[in-house]
Amino acid sequence: MATSGKNEALIGDLKDGLLDFLEQLGHNEGKYNSRLWFGGGDGMSYNNMLVLKKYMQTHPDEFQRFELLRPVLQVWHTQWTNLTRVIQTHLGESLSNNPATIRWAAKKIRRDISGDKKSDFYPDSQLLALLHDTQMLDGWRYILFHVSPAMPLM
């Protein structure tokens, strides 16, 4: 499908964009299948689709009311937001020498970390997975090799 060039942040543009996509699928006012249309997006797009349905609820036709539209919150947007939140919380100061921060560990393994507002999903999630695994292995190393033999593990 061709893109519409509309801004989904504006309710009017979202409506025009959805109507454009539906027309490309062969659905328009008076000629459409009564099947559900799933529209996915981030939190803002999801909310704007709900607002659009609310604004259009008094129109006479189910097509005009967007009654068949089912907004879906895309899970990966939620994961991306959570990843950004974790990184911002535990990133640490740029000149800090604190080994408990993500920035310190990333410097030690010579990996870049995005310190801006929005993280780069794949590189940053891979970095966090790597840091998690190395911390877990280090914990097991400590338990297995630094505990006296007379002392029980649990």
Would you kindly state where each structural domain of the chain is located, as residue ranges? Answer: 11-73, 77-145
Q: Give 39's strand partners.
A: 71
Give the DSSP H or E segment for 72: strand 69-73
**H-only helix segments in 25-42:** none
Report the mean per-residue pLDDT for the chain. Answer: 86
**Whether pLDDT at 92 is above 60:** yes
pTM of the predicted protein model? 0.60
Measured between alpha carbons, how far is 71 from 22 in angstroms, rounded to an integer?
15
pLDDT for res 145? 84
User: What mean pLDDT do residues 97-110 have?
Assistant: 89
Instruction: Note whether 113 and 91 are within 8 A (CB).
Output: yes
Name which of 30-39, 62-71, 103-112 the model is least confident about: 30-39
For residue 126, report the phi and psi dihedrals to the nearest 5 degrees.
-65, -40
